[in-house]
Amino acid sequence: MKLYIVGAGPGDPELITVKGLKLIEEADAVFYADSLVNEELFKQAKPGAEMVKTSSLHLEEIVDMIAKRLREGKKVVRVHTGDPAVYGAIMEQMALLNEKGIETEIVPGVSSVFAAAAAVGVELTVPELTQTVILTRVEGRTPVPELERLRELASHHCTIALFLSASLIRKAVSEFYEAGWSGDTPVAVVYRASWPDEKIIRTTLSRLEEDMKKEGIRKQAMILAGRALDEQILEKDYRSKLYDKAFAHQYRQGARK
């Protein structure tokens, strides 16, 4: 018995993988989480397939329902927003399923961090500027380990992608300052990346809270912060060594000077 866990992508129904969509088309039962999964994806489901919204159910209920259908010989697909591997809460489901002798197979999806970067039109790792992206969240009701507090992580001055933090923005800003970031550090906020009502804000650390308030953004937003978000970056000529004329690598001989 096997449950397929499929990443739905960030919202746009064309941003699911071919493999994920095929599994939805073949499923007898589809379980899907929260308001961030676009129901248009299910237009292609089999007629008569059972669609179960899971936001009002608790973990054991969901797992029992999935197990029951699998035992009946049905094909069951669990759909999660973005990519299931980040903030998908899949581990706890997999552990309970495992106890019942049920395997899982995960099909990745386009995470909102990448949909947001695409919407803004940026590279998160800019040569000579930063080569690291940290995916994290600000501590709210869900605790974050001490060593992973934003003020610690931000001390690396790399690109930081904040999930689940739109309502905690004041705290985020103060932690960035504590880590030594300056008020003019560029920040981009993408509300509902890839949905028809997507909104993009390009701002700075010092104006972030005010600008988000002005736009009424308190949830479903990805916050990307760091020098890679510089609005003038295209004029600044950062070049990757990979395409540098003088840089030889496995696939290309370096040009002789």
Positions in 119-158 near ligand SAH (CB under 6 A): none
224: three-class secondary structure by DSSP: strand
Kindly indicate which of the ranges 24-32, 92-100, 170-178, 217-225 contains the residues binding ligand SAH, using the contact rule CB under 6 A. Answer: 217-225
What φ, ψ does residue 55 adopt, rounded to 5°?
A: -65, -25
At 94, which helix (H) or strand (E)? Answer: helix 90-99
**Is the Cβ–Cβ distance between 169 and 152 less than 8 Å?**
no
Instruction: Return the sign of the alpha-carbon dihedral for residues 230, 234, 235, 236.
Output: positive
Judged by CB under 6 A, which of 65, 86, 134, 179 binds ligand SAH? Answer: 86
Site for ligand SAH in 158-177 (CB under 6 A): 163-164
Least CB distance from residue 36 to ligand SAH, whole Å? 5
Q: Pick from 51, 65, 69: which is nearest to 96 by CA? A: 65
Q: Which CB, 87 or 238, lies closer to ligand SAH?
A: 87
In the bound state with ligand SAH, the residue whose beta carbon lies nearer, of 144 and 164, is: 164
**Nearest one of 119, 129, 112 to 233, comparing CA atoms:** 129
Query: Min. distance of Cβ 156 from ligand SAH in angstroms?
Result: 21
Applying CB under 6 A, the site for ligand SAH has a residue count of 24
Q: Give the C-alpha distances (Å, rounded to integers) separating 165 from 33, 148, 171, 231.
A: 19, 15, 9, 23
Tokens of 121: 């039109």
The one among 87, 104, 179, 200 contacting ligand SAH by CB under 6 A = 87
Q: Which of 54, 93, 112, 136 binds ligand SAH (CB under 6 A)?
A: 112
Pull the structure tokens for residue 86. 């980040």
> Site residues (CB under 6 A) for ligand SAH?
10-11, 36, 80-83, 86-88, 111-112, 115-116, 163-164, 190, 192-195, 220-222
